[in-house]
Amino acid sequence: MISYLANPSRYLKFSKNFSPFAGWITLMSLLLALYYALLKSPPAEEHGQAVRMMYTHVPAAWCALLAYTCLTVASIFSFIWRHPLADSAAKSIATPGLAFTFLALLTGSLWGKPAWGTWWQWDGRMTSVLILFFIYIGYLTVWSVIPERKKAARLASIIAMVGFINIPIIKFSVDWWNTLHQPASISSVGSPGLPLEILTPLLLMTLSYSLFFMWLVIKGIEKDITKMNMQNRKNKPLAFTEVEDI
Amino acid sequence: MILNIIKRDIIIASRSGSSALNGLIFFCLFIALASISLGGTNEVLKPLSPALIWLAIVFSTMLSYQNIFQEDYKDGNLSQLRLGGVSALNICIAKSFSFSIQSIFPLILSIPIVAVFLDMPLSEIKTIIVTLLIATPGLTVYGVFSSAIAAKIRGGTFFIVLITSPFLIPLLIFGLESMNSASDVDIFNSELRVLIGLSLIASAIGLPASAAALKTNLE
C-alpha cells in the first residue's frame, strides 16, 4: 500500500478520489461527536458545565502528540530513503501539528481558569507542551529559512528526530511530577476511570480530531506535490533550439 | 586529528582575543543590568542569584553558538578537513571540546568573582559550579548541533536561539531544581542525576545528529 502510493502521480490520483470521502467522514463524525459533547452528555460532578472544555482540550493535545510522532516517522523515511513524498508528508504534518498544539495550550488555559483559578502555571506538562510548541516553530523555520528544498528537508528531518526526545517526557510528565495538571483520565482498560456518558463523547471527539488531522495531511501533501510540479514546469525552458556546427 | 583541531581552534581564539572575551563581557553585563533593574538590594538578589547566573550563562553561550562553524565554513576549512579524510563526527567532537574550553569554562571560572557581587554563600557557589560543569556537555552539544544546521545561513543568531531554546529549557529547569534541593551533606540529589542523564542523552543523540547536519551542509 505504502510502496504503491510512494509515487507522486499515483498519489495525486489516489488523493483526488479519497480526500472528499475522508472529508465527508470527518464532517459526519464531528457532527455526531458535537451532538454528544454539547447536548447529550451531563455536566460532570467536579467541573460542572466547564467539563465540555475537556472535549476540545484532550483531543487537541492527543493530536499534537500524534502529529509529532507521525512527523518523526516521516522524517525517518525522508532521512534514510530521501524520498520526496516523505518530505512533503513531513512538511504538511508539521503545520496542523503546530495548530493543534496551540489549540491544546489555548483551551487548556481557558479551562484552567474555572478549574484551578489560574490561566497558566509553570508545571511539568504545560511547560513541556510549550517546549513542543517551540520545537514545531523551529522545525517550520528551517523549511522557510533554507532555500534549497532537498537540503531543507534533510536538516528539518534531523531536527524533528532530535526533538522526539521530548515526546515521552510530555506523555509521562504528569506521572513523574505530581503537580497541578491531573493525570490521564483514560489510563488502562478496566480501571475506574470516566463514566460512560462522558467517555463516549470524548472518544468520538478524539476520533473526529484524528480524522480531521488525516484529511488535512492528505490535502497538504496534494498541495505540496502540485506546487512542486508547477515549479518544475516553470523552470523548464519554453522552447529548444539547436545550433548546428558549420 | 581531534587534538590537532582543538589546538588550532584554541590558538586562533587566543590570537584574535576579543571574540573569545565577548561571551565573558556579555555575562558580566547581563548580571550587572539584572541586579540594577531588580533594585540592587541584597535581600532581593540573594534568592534570585542562582537563577540569574544560570540565565546569564545560557544566554551568553547561545549568542556564541553562531561562531562554532560559521567562520570555518565560510573560508573553506571545513570542506578542506572533510577532503583530508576527517569524519564529520570527529569534527563535531573536536568542536565540542574547543567550544567548551573557549566559551563555557571562562564563564564558570568567573563565577566566584561574580558571586561576590551577588553576595552568595560559599556552599551555593560550590553547587552552582558543580551543576554547571555537569550541564556543560548538554550546553555545548546542542550548540554544535544548531550551529551545524545554521552553518550556511547568514546572520543566523536568531534562528539558532529559536532552535536551541526548546532543548536548553530542560537543562535550565533541572539545573536550578538541583540547586534548590542541594544541601551541604548530599550534593547528588535526584535532580542532579536527571541533569547528568540529560547531558548524556544530549551527547549521545546530538553529536551524530550534528555530524549528519554538517555532512548535509557540506554536500
The model's pLDDT over B83-135, given as tens digits with 9 standing for 90+, comes to 888 899 999 999 999 999 988 999 999 999 988 888 888 888 888 999 999 99
Higher pLDDT, A38 or B216: B216
- Confidence at residue A240, expressed as pLDDT on a 0 to 100 scale: 67
Optimal mutation site among A141, A162, A178, interface B, most CBs of chain B within 10 A: A162
pLDDT category, A47, cuts 50, 70, 90? low
Contacts with A79 from chain B: Cβ below 8 Å: 212
The structural domain count of chain A equals 1
- Confidence at residue B193, expressed as pLDDT on a 0 to 100 scale: 87
- Total beta-carbon pairs less than 8 A apart between chain A and chain B: 53
pLDDT category, A99, cuts 50, 70, 90? very high
Q: All 3 cell numbers of residue A222?
A: 496534494
Other beta carbons within 10 angstroms of residue B191's beta carbon come to 19
CB B211 within 8 A of CB B219: no
CB B124 within 8 A of CB B179: yes
Provide long-range contacts, Cβ within 8 A and 24+ apart, for A227-232: A228/A8, A228/A84, A228/A88, A228/A149, A229/A8
User: Contact B149/A131, CB-based, under 8 Å?
Assistant: no
Q: All 3 cell numbers of residue A104?
A: 491544546
Q: All 3 cell numbers of residue B81?
A: 578537513
Instruction: State how far residue A11 is from chain B, nearest Cα, in angstroms.
Output: 28
**A153 found inside a domain:** yes
Q: Is the pLDDT of residue A160 over 80?
A: yes
CB A178 within 8 A of CB A31: no
**A233 found inside a domain:** no
Higher pLDDT, A233 or A108: A108
Contacts with B166 from chain A: Cβ below 8 Å: 131-132, 134-135, 138, 163, 166
User: Contact B159/A163, CB-based, under 8 Å?
Assistant: no
User: Contact A127/B159, CB-based, under 8 Å?
Assistant: no
**A185 found inside a domain:** no
Q: What are A48's strand-pairing partners?
A: A44
Contacts with B158 from chain A: Cβ below 8 Å: none
pLDDT category, A189, cuts 50, 70, 90? very low
Residue A152: which domain range?
18-40+48-178+196-224
pLDDT category, A186, cuts 50, 70, 90? low
Question: Taking an 8 Å Cβ-Cβ cutoff, which residues of chain B contact chain A?
Answer: 145, 149, 152-153, 156, 159, 162-163, 165-167, 169-170, 173, 201, 205-206, 209, 212-213, 216-217, 219
Higher pLDDT, B38 or A197: B38
Contacts with A127 from chain B: Cβ below 8 Å: 169, 173
Q: Is the pLDDT of residue A191 over 70?
A: no
The DSSP string of B140-184 is: HHHHHHHHHHTTTSTT-HHHHHHHHHHHHHHHHHHHHHHHHT--S
- Confidence at residue A177, expressed as pLDDT on a 0 to 100 scale: 64
- Confidence at residue A169, expressed as pLDDT on a 0 to 100 scale: 76
**A103 found inside a domain:** yes
Residue B45: which domain range?
2-218
Q: Could you give the residue ranges of the DSSP H alpha helices within chain A?
A: 2-5, 8-35, 54-81, 84-116, 124-145, 149-163, 166-176, 196-235
Determine what percent of chain B is predicted with pLDDT higher than 90.
38
Residue of A nearest to B204 (CA): A162
Q: All 3 cell numbers of residue B120?
A: 552568595
User: Contact B145/A161, CB-based, under 8 Å?
Assistant: no
Name A211's Cβ contacts closer than 8 Å, sequence gap at least 6: A22, A25, A26, A29, A30
Instruction: State how far residue B20 is from chain A, nearest Cα, in angstroms.
Output: 28
Q: What are A44's strand-pairing partners?
A: A48
- Confidence at residue A187, expressed as pLDDT on a 0 to 100 scale: 47
**Single-letter code of the amino acid located at A222:** E
Q: Is the pLDDT of residue B38 over 90?
A: no
CA distance B36 to B101: 30
- Confidence at residue A4, expressed as pLDDT on a 0 to 100 scale: 72
- Confidence at residue B207, expressed as pLDDT on a 0 to 100 scale: 94
CA distance B88 to A175: 39
Contacts with A145 from chain B: Cβ below 8 Å: 153, 156, 159
The structural domain count of chain B equals 1
Q: All 3 cell numbers of residue B115?
A: 558571586
- The answer, for A134 touching chain B at a CB cutoff of 8 Å, is yes
Determine what percent of chain B is predicted with pLDDT higher than 70.
96
Task: Give phi and psi for A189, each to the nearest 5.
Answer: -70, 135
User: Contact A162/B206, CB-based, under 8 Å?
Assistant: yes
Q: Quote the longest CA-to-CA distance of chain A.
A: 93
- Confidence at residue B18, expressed as pLDDT on a 0 to 100 scale: 65
Average pLDDT of the segment spanning A6-33: 87
Q: Is the pTM value of this prediction over 0.80?
A: yes
CA distance A222 to A118: 42
User: Contact B213/A142, CB-based, under 8 Å?
Assistant: no
Q: What pLDDT digit, counting tens, does each position of B168-203 carry?
A: 988 888 888 888 877 656 667 788 888 899 999 999
